[in-house]
Amino acid sequence: MSIVIFVCAGLLVFLALVATALALFARRTARRVEQFLPPIGKFIDADGNRLHVVDRGAGPPIVMIHGLGGQLRHFTHSLAGRLEGEFRLIIVDRPGCGYSTRAPGASARLSVQANTVAKLIRSLGLERPLIVGHSLGGAVSLALALQHPDCVGGLALVAPLTHPRDKPPEVFKRLAIPFPLLRRWVAWTVAIPIGIATAKETLAFVFGPEAVPGDFGTAGGGLLSLRPSAFFAASTDMVAVNEDLPGMVGRYGTLAVPVGILFGRGDRLLDPQEHGAAMAAKVPGLQYTLRDGGHMLPLTAPDDVAQWIRAQALRLRPS
């Protein structure tokens, strides 16, 4: 019996040492990434969240909201530069993502994130801006338009999540951790080594059938995902998304602003038929555009996406 206890105690000590080593590796990796890719915007407090925001250009306002596991550099990589000469661009790291922090105890529900974006819009004095939402950012944008119509002039949604999903894509299954304490433990131990080991495969799937831009890790901010906070935020967002989305679907017909949806027909993450074409039957006047490409159109087809956004912005202006 004493031998069993001794072995078990030794195993626990060994596991504790391994966990400590992994946590130190995660913290060191995060620090190195943040030194290499520091914040590029300003910080604005909204509903207890400290939001990292890039505010560029002049003209009609556009608010840009990124997707799951992303951050604002997905837009500043190449899309923003094609629009900032014509529009004022407000590009935000969603709460918990990039360099934004989520208020202690705050929910990641779409409705809560929408309230935060509405607070930001009002604090900046923006008058019914065009909302550009990519992927999960599209779901946040829809929640914003449903809950705060006074904050939205129109929606331009790129590969948006619009309907509930029974299960996540295979590459995102490791994010499906329903318990916050376990989620944080994973974030600070195995998440970063696994993320590094699987990065090439994951990015190929997410960007496919298009190639991953060579500078995505740097200019596109991809390296920022190699931090415990990024994993924790992505997992939290994914677990929370279906709390509001089912109820939103039945309200899409009440949207009273111009809505445009752009999808790549080769999208591997979100089915264009289920999340794009299906919306045309629910939203009066919705403009649905299908083109070649995958899920990451803001980075892989910035010229075409910029032109499409310009066309959506024109729908907001009196003829």
Report in angstroms the alpha-carbon separations of 194 from 33, 75, 125, 250, 274: 16, 26, 43, 38, 31
Q: At what angle do helices 228-240 and 2-36 cross, to 10 degrees?
A: 100
Strand order in the sheet with 61-65: 42-46, 49-56, 88-92, 61-65, 130-134, 154-158, 259-264, 287-291
Q: What is the pLDDT of residue 263?
A: 97
Query: DSSP state, 272?
Result: H
Closest CA to 52 of 87, 102, 88: 102
Whole-model pTM over 0.85? yes
User: ∠214-225-50 over CA atoms, to 5°?
Assistant: 125
Q: What is the pLDDT of residue 14?
A: 43
Tokens of 310: 């310009």
- The dihedral region occupied by 128, where left means phi > 0, alpha psi between -120 and 50, and beta the remainder, is left
Tokens of 307: 């032109």
Q: What is the pLDDT of residue 167?
A: 81
Closest CA to 121 of 131, 111, 112: 131
Q: What is the pLDDT of residue 47?
A: 83
Contact 209, 15 (CB under 8 A): no
In DSSP terms, 80 is beta-bridged to none
Show the domains of the chain with their CATH numbers: 41-314 (3.40.50.1820)
Q: How far does the chain reach from its first CA to its final CA, in angstroms?
A: 85
In DSSP terms, 260 is beta-bridged to 156, 287
Mean pLDDT per 10-residue run, the chain (319 residues)?
Answer: 56 55 78 91 91 95 96 96 95 95 89 95 95 97 96 97 86 88 91 89 93 94 93 93 92 94 95 93 93 96 97 79
Q: What is the pLDDT of residue 10?
A: 56
Q: What is the pLDDT of residue 173?
A: 86
